[in-house]
Amino acid sequence: MRLLVLGTGGMANAHAHAFAAIEGVDLVGAVDVDPTRARAFAERHAIPETFSTLDDAIAWGDFDAATNVTPDRVHHATTLALIAAGKHVLCEKPLAENFPKAAEMAEAAERSGLTTMVNLTYRNVAPLQRARAMVEAGEIGTVRHIEASYLQSWLISRAWGDWATESQWLWRLSTKHGSNGVLGDVGIHILDFASYATASDVRTIFARLKTFDKAPENRIGEYDLDANDSFAMTAEFDNGAMGVIHASRWATGHLNELRLRLHGDKGALDLRHTPDGSWLSGCLGSDVETAVWREIDAGTVPTNYQRFAAAVAAGEQVDPGFRHAANLQKVLDLAVVTERDRRELTV
C-alpha cells in the first residue's frame, strides 16, 4: 500500500511511525499547507514527495490510500476529495464538525466501495476488545448500569506543554478555530468506549456543558477560549442500560485516563486505560456475593493502522467505519442541543 499522509502536525508523526512499521506499507507523500513543515516531516520519515495542496497530491496520484490527520474542520472536504479520487481513507476523529457533514462522508464512502475507517484510537486497547467479547458472551448477564469517564489535566499540568502559549493546544479551546471543545475532542472517544464495550448504541441523552474562565476575558491573542472544557451526560442505551458519561480537561492528577465500569445482573467489569498501561478486572460468578474483583488477562490486539492496512490489501471494509463515527457525531450534536434546551433527546 502506497500511503499519503495528509496533514503533518503532531498526531501525523504517530501515524507515520505506525504505518512505517507495517510490512507492505510505503509512505510516499506528505501534504501540508506549510511547505516548510511538510519538508521537515518528509525528511524525518523518509518520505520522497511533498505537496502544499491536496489537489496537487491527487493530480500526482501515485498513492493508494491516505491517512487524514488534518484539523477537524478540514476532514469533510479533504476526505470527500480523496474518495472522489478513488483513494482509501483512514480519517482521524471526529469524522466531521457535525452530523450532516459526517453523514455525507459516510454516504460517499458507502457508495464508493473503498476501504474507509475512522481512527478511534482506543479500539487498540486490548481490555476494551476483551470486555466487549465478555459482554457479548453473556458473562456479566444483562448490562444495567454504565459509568464512563475520560479525564485529562492539560489545562492544569504542563506535562503536555504550555497550552496558554502553544497554538497546537489553543485551537482546541476556540470554536472559531474549529473546536467543539472537550465534547468534540474526546467525547467521541468515551462514547465509543462505552457503546462498543456494551455492544449497544446510545438511545437517549441529556448533557450539561461547561466552559471555565481561563484568561482575561477568556481570550489569548486571536483565540476566543469559548469551547466547552467539561461535560457530564446521562444516557440510556438500546439494551435498556442507564449510563453516566463525563469528560474534562480540568481533571487534576489524570494526564489521560479512560475508565469504564459495566454492571450486569450476573457480574461486572472495570476497565482502565492510562499512558502507563491498560487493565481489566471483573467481579464474576461466586465473587459477586463477596464483591471480590480479579484481574483479567486481555492479551494483545492489532492496531487500527495494522487493521486498516490489512483491509486495504484484502479489499474489505473495516470497523470502526464512517457510518459508526457519523452516528457518534449525531449524539455529540444532540448533546449541545440538550444543554441549550435543558431537555432529554432521543438519538
List, for residues 86-125, the tens digit of each pLDDT value.
999 999 999 998 999 999 999 999 999 999 999 999 999 9
Residue partners of 248: CB distance under 8 A and separation at least 6: 150, 151, 152, 182, 229, 230, 231
Q: Which three cell numbers stand for residue 59?
A: 493530480
- Do 17 and 99 share a structural domain? yes
Q: Say how far apart CA 109 and CA 314 lie, in whole Å.
A: 17
- Do 130 and 276 share a structural domain? yes
The predicted structure's pLDDT at residue 127: 98
Residue partners of 258: CB distance under 8 A and separation at least 6: 122, 125, 148, 149, 150, 151, 189, 190, 193, 271, 272, 273, 274
Q: Say how far apart CA 306 and CA 323 lie, in whole Å.
A: 20
Domain boundary among 260, 284, 300: 300
The predicted structure's pLDDT at residue 168: 81
Closest by CA position to 163, among listed 220, 93, 97: 220
Residue-range definition of the domain harbouring residue 285: 126-300
Report how many domains make up the chain.
2
Give the dihedral of Cα atoms 98, 101, 103, 109; nearest 10 deg: -130
- Do 208 and 82 share a structural domain? no
The predicted structure's pLDDT at residue 166: 87
Average pLDDT in the 291-303 region?
A: 97
- Do 156 and 93 share a structural domain? no
Look at residue 9 and tell me whether its pLDDT is greater than 90: no
CB of 311 closer than 8 Å to CB of 317: yes
Question: Residue 159 is which amino acid?
Answer: A
Look at residue 72 and tell me whether its pLDDT is greater than 90: no
Domain boundary among 261, 284, 300: 300
332 domain residue, yes or no: no
Average pLDDT in the 308-316 region?
A: 97
- Do 147 and 91 share a structural domain? no
Which tens digits make up the pLDDT trace of 178-230? Answer: 888 999 889 999 999 999 999 999 999 999 999 999 999 999 999 999 999 99
Q: Say how far apart CA 69 and CA 11 lie, in whole Å.
A: 7
- Residue 134 has φ and ψ, to the nearest 5°, of -70, -40
What percentage of the chain has pLDDT greater than the value 90?
Answer: 92
Peptide bond into 320 cis (omega under 30): yes
- Do 243 and 132 share a structural domain? yes
The predicted structure's pLDDT at residue 178: 81
Grid cell 442541543 in the structure block, residue = 337
Which CATH number does the domain housing residue 271 bear?
3.30.360.10
147 domain residue, yes or no: yes
> What is the model's pTM?
0.91
345 domain residue, yes or no: no
Average model confidence (pLDDT) across the chain: 96
Q: Say how far apart CA 212 and CA 265 lie, in whole Å.
A: 39
- Do 220 and 116 share a structural domain? no
The predicted structure's pLDDT at residue 134: 98
- Do 244 and 219 share a structural domain? yes
- Do 91 and 46 share a structural domain? yes
Residue partners of 87: CB distance under 8 A and separation at least 6: 4, 58, 63, 64, 65, 66, 114
Look at residue 344 and tell me whether its pLDDT is greater than 90: no
End-to-end CA distance of the chain: 38
Look at residue 21 and tell me whether its pLDDT is greater than 90: yes
